[in-house]
A and B are shown apart, each in its own frame.
Chain A
């Protein structure tokens, strides 16, 4: 079978011939993006948490000094990896590691490392913002019942911060799916590298990259929908089940300001369970 002359024909031809390669490339792209986003989030949370540990110079000078050093180093990390292109980082780390330290990373190790620390640098600031966005009252409420900083973060602040930064995590995942293509410079066989190979075999650049466009879009769109679904799951249901219908809220409206007992109170929280206010 030779190469068809029309556009659609060529697309079907390369799909038939290289479909498996495309799928493998897409799989690698998705795998790198997912793993790196996850690891990046973990790095981001770790950095963000360290950046927001409360410490006063007066109370614990040693701890304060250590935190200052740690924060300075973390700031350097964030600024360097946010401030240089990932493609350059890929070359720098992949070749630099073997030249300077004699570490011969596999392409896969290098790919995951580079995208992870890159994502981590962005996520660090996102997480810090997420933590700072939570009302101070939440922290005080937790402190007032004796929770430590770690407990407060774990059970109160971080779950809320995570929910608030979910859209940004989604952004990072989508960016990572697309940006893994820069890893082709160190020879990682992801979707872009695969497509280039396919395109070169029969000089079907337009056709091959059309396929790549569609695959990239399916990957990113699928992930973005999936994250939306996850977000709404995190929010929980809009309504709630009353625990025991026999015991309604007996305290509401006991002020004596409730002067129309025969009329149901429209729009108040309990009117729906109160049988038209007849209880009072």
Chain B
């Protein structure tokens, strides 16, 4: 990463995108990606809120923009256009120093024995998405929320082939025997495999609180020689009559994220439940340290 001009860690990502769009009127069952066509100005506004809050990096609204996931949401054949348009929207908001990440999430297709996905299938999904993101001017590809290292590796290979830097995060949960993905991939093994496949920055996002992510980071640190990215959820989800609220408050969350930097992370940000308010608090703490 040292040859990349914008690589000046610590770098601050944005927070959750989907929940902001729900607040702006996205309906349940509607794909967030559909808004790059239907309400580009609202997607633009969501990015703007994060830029104003102090994010160094904003991420395109393309988490579910692989061909098969879009097809399941009634948007078959639109993957390349969705990804291009989403980068263009993010670019409109980016200030001189803002880094624009092309975001890639899981396809939802599962490998055997859970499903019938093959490596060829997933490689072609991710190639199409990564090439569209890169072609539209993404500064790097950010792969997130992967739960099967086999799928994550397909995404990393496809993203790496674009020539852009690649960040790759997986989502691990706590079990009685340590941290694993839902298919049983271990933290150290997974992150090492992503790095070996060409990811420049590897790490964790979603599923857990900052405190749990800190202990994952401590487990990974001795085996990871590359920079680490960490994006925890805003605490634990709590049920409310209208949905889920996360229980962390921005001030505490910000301190916990700084602790992740101190433990060796180079890139931090928020996943589910985080808002521009969370990012603003982290920015303030980072500015105090600078």
**Do A and B assemble together?**
no
Enumerate chain A interface residues (CB-CB to B < 8 A): none
Enumerate chain B interface residues (CB-CB to A < 8 A): none
